[in-house]
Amino acid sequence: MTSPLIALDARLAWGTATGDSTYWTGLILGLAEASFPATFLLFSDQPRPAQLPDVPHLRWRQITARNPRFWSLVTFPLAARKAGATRVHTQYNLSPLVRRGGITTIHDVSFFIGPDWFRPRDRLLLQKFVPRSAQRAQAVLTVSETSKAEIEHWIPRARGKTWVTPNALNPLLPQVEPDEAAAHRLRLGIDEDPYLLCVGTRWPRKNTALALEATRRLSREFPHRLLLTGKEGWGPEELHDRVVPTGYVRWPELAALYQGASLTLIPSWHEGFGLVPLEAWSQGCPVLASSGGALPEIVRDSEAIVPTWEPDAWAAKIENLLADSSTLDAMTQAGRTRLADFSWRQTATATWAAYQLGADGAV
């Protein structure tokens, strides 16, 4: 019997699109590790990544189009159909050319929850096309129970067919030895003075301005600077003399920054999952997160959640933690324990269950 062919839009795998790239890279690695009775066709407009495992049930297909939108809407679905795929898995936008067997991953619906966090054109496109994709899809995948509830609230057509397939630790984030980590920090101009860390592209939903203001209000008893990593993005924020913007950093450098940080701050207004806590925990760094979206669900440590977005409350909490090494150690251990609850193999298994829904046949 011929195994089913499942087509994935793998353009973001092994890329630099932060959370989206982590999801697709991790899912593909989970599918590589498991032994599902199917062949996975990984379609992309890029050459085969050197890191892709050489296993028979993963096949890379490079196809090109005149622009990314045409690739998504026309080139990819037609190539999947021609290959005989019975399932097509993409993200957010599912082409109308996928007549059946369509799977879409919707990480969150923050474009409905906080429309001001988005540029007007992006917001309008997401609000218009994502619900249509969810309606067409055989199954909608998302990354947390919180996100599932929000999707089914804002997109009623997704009710009854939304599956939770959680993220796991970024597979591209390495473990680096302490000496190597110190060398990475030195090359970035980071000395051994204490610092806090805030990770991610700086755009309104990430609420970096709160981390900036809370750090500015710290007592001089705590000389910590705030390191900001990630692309500049857009949004209201004012840097001050305790802030060090590093720009985009490579994965080994990011691991080194986590290792050297006293605390990682996650002040987001909303997260559909929240990969930063997992990354920080893996490097032995405790986190302090907001209650936005799925962060309480993922973190599960009341000590690590600030239930308000008031800068004074954040500053006070940061100072209390920095003065209490035993609590920070307990938070770090709780994080490592929580990290063990997530794996890409489990994600792949949950995704495989969704792939099996419905009748087979060409997409």
Q: Which phi and psi angles does 100 have, rounded to 5°?
A: -160, 165
Same domain, 204 and 219: yes
Burial class, 293, CB count within 10 angstroms (exposed 0-12 / middle 13-18 / buried 19+): buried
CA distance 106 to 164: 10
Same domain, 271 and 318: yes
Res 235 pLDDT > 90: no
Report which of 179, 171, 177, 149 is spatially closest to residue 162, judged by C-alpha positions. Answer: 149
**Under 8 Å between Cβ of 347 and 26:** yes
Q: Does the residue 37 lie in any domain?
A: yes
Same domain, 316 and 259: yes
Same domain, 145 and 221: no
Same domain, 190 and 74: no
Res 195 pLDDT > 60: yes
Q: Does the residue 173 lie in any domain?
A: no
Q: Report pLDDT for 245.
A: 92
Read off the pLDDT of each residue in 104-110 and give the average, rounded to a whole number.
98
The tokens describing 157, both together, are 């057509």
Q: Report pLDDT for 190.
A: 93
Of residues 18 and 247, more confidence is placed in 247
Read off the pLDDT band of 237 (50, 70, 90).
Answer: confident
Please tell me the total count of domains within the chain: 2
Question: Which tens digits make up the pLDDT trace of 110-150?
Answer: 999 999 999 999 999 999 999 999 999 999 999 999 999 99
Angle at 346 between CA 345 and CA 349, to 5 degrees: 85
**Under 8 Å between Cβ of 109 and 154:** yes
Q: Does the residue 361 lie in any domain?
A: no
Read off the pLDDT band of 362 (50, 70, 90).
Answer: low
Of residues 3 and 111, more confidence is placed in 111
Question: Which tens digits make up the pLDDT trace of 248-295?
Answer: 999 999 999 999 999 999 999 999 999 999 999 999 999 999 999 999
Question: Which tens digits make up the pLDDT trace of 38-82?
Answer: 999 999 999 999 999 999 999 999 999 999 999 999 999 999 999
Same domain, 270 and 349: no
Q: Does the residue 363 lie in any domain?
A: no
Q: Which phi-psi region, left, alpha or beta, contains residue 339 (left: φ > 0; alpha: ψ -120 to 50)?
A: alpha
Q: Does the residue 274 lie in any domain?
A: yes
Segments forming the whole domain that contains residue 299: 178-339
Average pLDDT taken over every residue of the chain: 94
**Under 8 Å between Cβ of 279 and 303:** no
Question: Which tens digits make up the pLDDT trace of 307-337?
Answer: 999 999 999 999 999 999 999 999 999 999 9
**CATH number where 73 lies:** 3.40.50.2000
Q: Does the residue 360 lie in any domain?
A: no
Same domain, 160 and 235: no
Q: Does the residue 362 lie in any domain?
A: no
